[in-house]
């Protein structure tokens, strides 16, 4: 997945290289290749910081500012997560990327029977505003931006983030939060959905509309091609599907009477880095150019800053292996290099032990130091887009652009992304690609060092993050205490107002803020939506 297929002759010489995107790589590239793909300096490349932003969204690239580092962090109780936040910030991390446990992601309180055995397991357990007050204690929310990796209940978490910031004395106009808030990719690539497609997309539209008016520094949606890529799609499909998903959210808000230019500048993306270096770099350069061009053509967006493809390029989770896990340290360094050569604005890197456990402090800091070494020692800040003008890179970037457009056209013919997801078309495509990759991996046609080649050697001793039942019980105890101490009549009143707003198709965000202030729980708010909207039923895809 993400690595090239190498076809060799009987003497082990490479006869052909085929990227997962379907692009065949030539042994040598010349100016004739640029002519073949119709490359033009002004329309395909241009100057850094200028349309179409192929090279960078900033004129001086990393000379003017380094990338933001946001290592994915969160486990156990809010206290444990707060401690890890502070550790990472003290070592130079410049943003937060918050992990939530599965019950929170699925809108269940920690004492719900559905949450048993999962409280705090793969992320931080959050039941109410009281937990946010602990998790973000002593974090300067006017200086540190927070990515909230949450989807089905993203509207609830964004309301809770605003509420905790105001309780800490910050103005809502000075805080920056980026909820992932991409339910279509959940349906395609991950599975943490709750509500049917139409009301789920409407909730996303509510967060966008509300942020325009009330949270000007927040990015209300982070379109996540990352997880679709992790589920098996090609790099071309990752960008194609991400853009079509973004268009679905844009269309929802435009239908409310707004212009795309009013809000699309606050869209961000979460996109994947692993595998073939050249394919990855070309993918991001093509994506930056296409996003700007398509926004102009499709939505008449003229303001340059609204055309930026902003977001986090990082991860590498599917590239990491449980076998010979120390190899992942080297893999991570190359993934970070790919992010830098791609012009990433914000980055996160999966730690070397992430293939089998919650990252240890040592592993998380190694990932952070990898970024810092690249920026401060290796010379990645020296010049903007150092690969610009390469016959190879510019040719592959143009070929990548064409393939992305071809894939988008397939979704357009299905009636758009909402229809393509509702029918199961995209899910089938991703499953097919995942199967093909696994088949080639097992047959040795795709090489994975330590997995199907160079497998000799002894694996290192690994430190596992064991599930802490005591932490789970502490969380449940705190939740029960909250229910006894809060003003339950105020909770009931705020939940009733939320229900009526949902039924009347009003923007629910102000009502969610009121619910959070009354210390309504995540499960209580999510259940209001369950009762009004119902739950999503997955279509058969095979």
Give residues with Cβ within 8 angstroms of 433, minimum separation 6: 232, 233, 234, 237
- pLDDT of 542 reads 66
Q: Alpha helices of 343-416 — where are they, by DSSP H?
A: 361-373, 391-413
Task: Give the tokens for residue 404.
Answer: 């992305």
Q: What fold is seen in the domain 5-443?
A: TIM Barrel (3.20.20)
Question: Which of these, 535, 538, 525, 528, lies nearest to 126 by C-alpha position?
Answer: 525
CA distance 121 to 309: 33
- pLDDT of 458 reads 67
Residue 101 burial (CB count, 10 A):
25
Residue bearing tokens 């960008």: 239
Instruction: Report the first-to-last Cα separation within the chain, whole angstroms.
Output: 22
Fill in the DSSP letter of residue 360.
P
Q: Rounded to two decimals, what is the model's pTM? A: 0.94
Residue bearing tokens 């029977």: 113
Phi/psi of residue 221, each to 5°? -150, 140
Question: Which of these, 130, 146, 160, lies nearest to 475 by C-alpha position?
Answer: 130
Task: Give the tokens for residue 96.
Answer: 């937060």
For each of the chain's 542 residues, which pLDDT tens digit applies? 347 788 877 777 888 899 999 999 999 999 999 999 999 999 999 999 999 999 999 999 999 988 888 888 888 899 999 999 999 999 988 889 899 999 999 999 999 999 999 999 999 999 999 999 999 999 999 999 999 999 999 999 999 999 999 999 999 999 999 999 999 999 998 889 999 999 999 999 999 999 999 999 999 999 999 999 999 999 999 999 999 999 999 999 999 999 999 999 999 999 999 889 999 999 999 999 999 999 999 999 999 999 999 999 987 788 899 889 999 999 999 999 999 999 999 888 889 988 888 888 888 899 999 989 998 999 999 999 999 999 999 999 999 999 999 999 999 999 999 999 999 999 999 999 999 989 988 988 888 999 988 888 766 777 777 788 899 999 999 999 999 999 999 999 999 999 999 999 999 999 999 999 999 999 999 999 999 999 998 877 66
DSSP letters for 90-155: HTT--EEEEEB-HHHHTT--TTSGGGTTTTTSSSB---SHHHHHHHTTT--TTTSEEEEE--TTHH
Question: Which of these, 333, 250, 353, 351, lies nearest to 295 by C-alpha position?
Answer: 250
Contact 540, 424 (CB under 8 A): yes
Spell out the SS3 assignment of 241-270. Answer: HHHHHHHHHHHHHHCCCCCHHHCHHHEEEE
- Kindly list the strands in the beta sheet with 5-8, ordered across the sheet, starting from the edge strand earlier in the chain: 5-8, 14-18, 24-25
Contact 26, 38 (CB under 8 A): no
């Amino acid at each position: 997945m993400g690595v090239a297929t190498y076809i060799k002759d009987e003497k082990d010489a490479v006869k052909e290289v085929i990227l997962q995107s379907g692009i065949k790589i030539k042994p040598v590239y010349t100016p004739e290749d640029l002519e073949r793909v119709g490359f033009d300096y002004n329309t395909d490349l241009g100057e850094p910081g200028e349309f179409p932003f192929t090279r960078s969204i900033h004129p001086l690239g990393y000379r003017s500012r380094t990338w933001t580092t946001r290592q994915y962090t969160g486990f156990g109780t809010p206290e444990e997560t707060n401690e890890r936040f502070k550790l990472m910030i003290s070592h130079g991390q410049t943003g937060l990327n918050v992990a939530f446990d599965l019950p929170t992601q699925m809108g269940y309180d920690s004492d719900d029977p559905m949450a048993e055995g999962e409280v705090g397991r793969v992320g931080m357990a959050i039941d109410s505003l009281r937990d946010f007050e602990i998790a973000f204690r002593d974090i300067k929310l006017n200086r540190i931006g927070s990515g909230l990796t949450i989807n089905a209940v993203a509207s609830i978490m964004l309301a809770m983030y605003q509420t905790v910031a105001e309780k800490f004395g910050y103005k809502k106009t000075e805080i920056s939060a980026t909820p992932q808030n991409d339910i279509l990719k959940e349906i395609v690539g991950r599975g943490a959905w709750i509500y049917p497609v139409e009301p789920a997309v409407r909730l996303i539209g509510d967060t966008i509309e509300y942020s325009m008016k009330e949270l000007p520094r927040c990015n209300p949606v982070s379109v996540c091609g990352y997880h679709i890529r992790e589920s098996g799609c090609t790099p071309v499909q990752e960008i194609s599907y991400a853009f079509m998903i973004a268009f679905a959210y844009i269309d929802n808000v435009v239908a409310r009477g707004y212009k795309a230019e009013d809000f699309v500048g606050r869209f961000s993306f979460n996109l994947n880095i692993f595998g073939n270096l050249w394919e990855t770099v070309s993918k991001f350069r093509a994506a930056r150019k296409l996003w700007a061009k398509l926004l102009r053509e499709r939505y008449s967006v003229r303001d340059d800053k609204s055309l930026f493809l902003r977001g986090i390029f990082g991860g590498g989770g599917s590239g990491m292996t449980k076998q010979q896990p120390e190899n992942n340290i080297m893999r991570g360094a190359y993934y970070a290099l790919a992010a830098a050569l791609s012009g990433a604005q914000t980055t996160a890197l999966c730690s070397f032990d992430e293939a089998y456990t919650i990252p240890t402090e040592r592993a998380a800091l190694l990932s952070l130091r990898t970024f810092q070494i690249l920026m401060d020692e290796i010379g990645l800040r020296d010049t903007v887009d150092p690969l610009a003008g390469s016959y190879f890179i510019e040719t592959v970037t143009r070929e990548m652009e064409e393939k992305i457009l071809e894939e988008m056209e397939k979704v357009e013919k299905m009636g758009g992304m909402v229809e393509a997801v509702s029918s199961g078309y995209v899910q089938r495509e991703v499953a097919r690609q995942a199967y093909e990759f696994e088949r080639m991996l097992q047959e040795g046609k795709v090489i994975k060092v330590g997995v199907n080649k160079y497998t000799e050697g002894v694996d290192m001793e690994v430190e596992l993050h064991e599930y802490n039942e005591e932490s789970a019980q502490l969380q449940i105890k705190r939740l029960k205490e909250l229910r006894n101490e809060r003003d339950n009549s105020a909770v009931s009143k705020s939940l009733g107002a939320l229900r009526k707003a949902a039924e009347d198709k009003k923007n629910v965000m102000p009502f969610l803020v009121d619910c959070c202030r009354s210390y309504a729980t995540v499960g209580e708010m999510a259940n209001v939506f369950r009762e009004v909207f119902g739950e999503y039923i997955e279509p058969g895809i095979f």
